């Protein structure tokens, strides 16, 4: 019997036909790959401590420096995503692991990144003593730590609050642990993960600009990047080139948001499981362009066999069945042993740390340093109070007006992502001309980078108010203060608490650079723990640097536990919609 030849259908022929947009996408991918290889090839250069790579303030180098900075940002983002998926899932699926991972992430999220920057720089330089890879790894690690804790905690919370119906469906369908992870866990937490990643990515720009140039033990360590370019221009007193770098930084942040985060947030809306459709969905011209291309479908079909093989290989992990049932007394004994072991390990670490500090720092100085931390905490309180009074009404107005929100939200994202230390030289000039002490002026400098988190979160909270509640308030005739008290404030309060908590942590981090600012030959110093850490870092005094970092971290953790976390639980219990 002659076998008839099967011709492809018309739809298959149209799907296989190349489109003009495919050529554009191919050119873009090739250009991106070339830039990554070309820029990445220059990261491994000969290096001697005290003789860092030269940073030129020639404006022609700015595009290259911006590319180096962007490469470090995404080099820190990739391991942050991997860490988030691994440890977030582990904490959500293991009760004992959660007792260690969740408190550790909660504490590490509160620790300012810049406090341990000098320690990490010294450690990575020791690993690569003759190559700039040590400095590169230290910079990428600073970006990683600025990103990962918020992302991991958000992913864990999305898994911990996963609807019971989805969990039962996964068990009834006999999904393997791997299938459950990719088909259920990741999609269900995608929206929160993308938004938290975008906010964390904005905060990481500040850590990157600080990590690209740092002085340890009076040795300058600098990497070619936009942050080191600004630092060098500040030292040379070249205000025009600082302004030019600020413009390039704005273009860089806007470009990353346009080509990466905006399409990602619009794409993540496909995983929304709410019954009611949001009034104003994120839109992306770049995502629409990619969707017209046939290349993503071709790539998916090409990778499908590899995905099926990986799925079969991961079946050895077993299925997502219920937890094993153990004897209650046996489980209680295991929990006690686990708690004792963890407590002993923490106690040993604390004892070693205090022994090291007391061997190098006099006891009265520790009390003085605690006073410095208290002064900085007072500045943080003033900053949060100012942000509350100013930005809560404005954020609510923006969030409840979709047309205004569409224009203002990208602007707020850029402001939140912009490294504020780029405008510190202007502050030096203004403070010097006005005679205002940096003890008060640094509050404004800290606010330049931290206040936007309050505004951003309030906008998101106001925009999420359901339309039926707004219509009900209008039908009931709620106006003025009554409308604020009954509808707007309860609706945005959980988002405000999240923003205020983030702004508080950002202010602590910003104090390390805001309490000591310089431009040319002029240096201003404020009374606070941030200036103390900065001076200890410059002197290479690791004991005092560690002491300042510990004191700042203790203040942050205690305040978060006693105030912010309780306020957050109250907001979620009484005010969540």
Q: Give the residue from 272, 287, 319 where a domain finishes.
A: 272
Asked if the structure places residue 277 within a domain, the reply is: no
Containing 335, the helix (H) or strand (E) segment is helix 328-360
Helix (H) or strand (E) holding 219: strand 219-222
Among the residue ranges 76-90, 137-151, 334-348, the one predicted with the least confidence is: 334-348
Residue 325 lies in a domain: no
What lies within 8 Å, CB to CB, of 538 at 6+ separation is 215, 216, 218
Same domain, 79 and 204: yes
Q: Is 536 found in the same domain as 414?
A: yes
Report pLDDT digits (tens) over 165-219: 777 777 777 777 777 788 788 887 787 788 778 878 877 887 888 788 776 655 6
Place of tokens 């191919």: 26
Nearest Cα to Cα of residue 48 among 123, 138, 132: 132
Helix (H, G, I), strand (E, B) or coil at 519: strand
Give the mean model confidence (pLDDT) for residues 28-49. Answer: 76
Looking at the structure, tell me whether residues 243 and 387 fall in a common domain: no
Average pLDDT over residues 11-16: 48
* Domain shared by 254 and 367, yes or no: no
Q: Are residues 477 and 576 in the same domain?
A: yes
Q: Is residue 290 part of a domain?
A: no
Residue 51: helix, strand or coil by DSSP?
strand
Q: What would the DSSP string read from start to end of 462-476? A: HHTS-HHHHHHHHHT
Contact 529, 373 (CB under 8 A): yes
Q: 334-360 pLDDT, tens per residue?
A: 667 767 777 787 778 778 777 877 778
Same domain, 367 and 262: no
69 and 174 both lie in a single domain = yes
- Domain contains 368: yes
In a domain, 448, yes or no: yes
Of 567, 532, 525, give the one whose Cα is nearest residue 552.
532
| 250 and 383 belong to one structural domain | no
Residue 333 covered by a domain: no
pLDDT band at 83 (very low <50, low <70, confident <90, very high): very high
**Which of 254, 272, 290 is the endpoint of a domain?**
272
- CA-wise closest residue to 431 among 535, 530, 529, 515: 515
Q: What is the pLDDT of residues 487-529, one digit of tens each?
A: 778 888 877 887 787 788 778 877 887 888 876 677 788 888 8
Identify the DSSP state of 221.
Answer: E
Of the listed ranges 27-31, 127-131, 525-529, the one predicted with least confidence: 127-131
pTM: 0.76
Domain limits at 127? 65-272
Q: Dump pLDDT digits (tens) for 300-341.
A: 788 777 777 777 766 665 565 544 444 566 666 766 776 777
- Collapse the DSSP code of 401 into the 3-class scheme (helix H, G, I; strand E, B; otherwise coil) and give the result: coil
- Of the three residues 272, 300, 335, the one that is the final residue of a domain is 272
User: Does residue 548 sit within a domain?
Assistant: yes
Are residue 406 and residue 261 in the same domain, yes or no?
A: no
Q: How many domains does the chain have?
A: 2
Asked if 98 and 220 sit in the same domain, the reply is yes
Q: Residue 2 domain-assigned? A: no
Same domain, 368 and 266: no
User: Could you tell me the CATH number of the domain that includes residue 202?
Assistant: 1.10.3720.10
| CA 523 – CA 517 distance, rounded (Å) | 6
First to last CA, the chain: 69
For the chain, give the number of residues.
577
* Segment of 69-83, 336-350, 562-576 carrying the highest mean pLDDT: 69-83
């Amino acid at each position: 019997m002659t076998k008839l030849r099967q011709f492809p259908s018309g739809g298959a022929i149209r799907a296989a036909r190349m489109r003009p947009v495919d050529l554009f996408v191919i050119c873009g991918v090739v250009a991106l790959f070339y830039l990554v290889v070309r820029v990445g090839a220059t990261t491994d250069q000969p290096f001697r401590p005290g003789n860092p790579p030269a940073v030129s303030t020639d404006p022609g180098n700015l595009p290259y420096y911006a590319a180096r900075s962007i490469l470090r940002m995404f080099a820190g983002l990739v391991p942050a995503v991997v860490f988030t998926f691994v440890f977030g899932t582990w904490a959500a699926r293991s009760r004992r692991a959660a007792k260690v991972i969740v408190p550790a992430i909660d504490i590490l999220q509160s620790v300012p990144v810049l406090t341990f920057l000098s320690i990490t720089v010294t450690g990575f330089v020791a690993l690569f003593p003759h190559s700039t890879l040590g400095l590169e790894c230290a910079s990428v690690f600073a970006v990683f730590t600025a990103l990962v804790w918020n992302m991991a905690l958000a992913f864990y919370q999305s898994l911990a609050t996963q609807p019971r119906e989805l969990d039962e469906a996964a068990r009834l369908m006999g999904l393997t642990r791997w299938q459950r992870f990719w088909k259920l866990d990741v999609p269900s937490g995608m929206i929160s993960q993308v938004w938290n990643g975008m906010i964390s990515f904005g905060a990481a720009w500040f850590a990157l600009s600080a990590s690209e140039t740092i002085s340890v033990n009076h040795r300058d360590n600098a990497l070619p990047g936009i942050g080191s370019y600004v630092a060098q221009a500040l030292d040379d007193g070249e205000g025009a080139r600082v302004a030019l770098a600020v413009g390039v930084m704005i273009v860089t942040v806007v470009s990353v948001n346009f080509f990466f985060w905006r399409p990602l947030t619009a794409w993540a809306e496909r995983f929304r499981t709410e019954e009611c459709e949001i009034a104003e969905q994120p839109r992306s011209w770049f995502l629409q362009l990619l969707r017209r291309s046939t290349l993503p479908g071709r790539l998916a079909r090409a990778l499908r066999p590899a995905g099926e093989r990986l799925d079969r290989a991961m079946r050895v992990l077993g299925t997502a069945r219920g937890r094993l049932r153990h004897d209650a007394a046996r489980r209680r004994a295991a929990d006690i042993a686990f708690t004792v072991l963890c407590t002993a390990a923490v106690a040993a670490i604390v004892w070693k740390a205090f022994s090291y500090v007391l061997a190098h720092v006099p006891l009265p100085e520790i009390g003085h340093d605690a006073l410095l931390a208290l002064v900085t905490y007072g500045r943080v309180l003033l900053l949060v109070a100012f942000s509350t009074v100013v930005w809560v009404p404005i954020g609510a107005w923006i969030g409840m007006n979709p047309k205004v929100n569409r224009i203002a939200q990208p602007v707020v994202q850029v402001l939140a992502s912009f490294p504020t230390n780029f405008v510190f030289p202007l502050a030096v000039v203004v403070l010097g001309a006005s005679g205002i002490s940096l003890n008060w002026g640094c509050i404004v400098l800290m606010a330049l980078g931290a206040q936007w988190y309050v505004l951003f979160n309030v906008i998101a909270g106001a925009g999420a108010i359901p339309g039926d509640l707004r219509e009900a308030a209008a039908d009931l005739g709620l106006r003025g203060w009554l409308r604020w008290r009954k509808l707007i404030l309860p609706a945005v309060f959980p988002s405000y608490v999240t923003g205020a908590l983030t702004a508080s942590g950002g202010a602590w981090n910003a104090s390390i650079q805001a309490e000591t600012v310089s431009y040319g030959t002029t240096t201003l110093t404020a009374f606070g723990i941030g200036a103390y850490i900065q001076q200890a870092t410059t002197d290479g005094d690791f004991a005092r640097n560690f002491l300042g970092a510990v004191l700042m971290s203790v203040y942050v953790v205690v305040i978060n536990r006693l105030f912010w976390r309780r306020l957050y639980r109250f907001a979620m219990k009484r005010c969540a919609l």
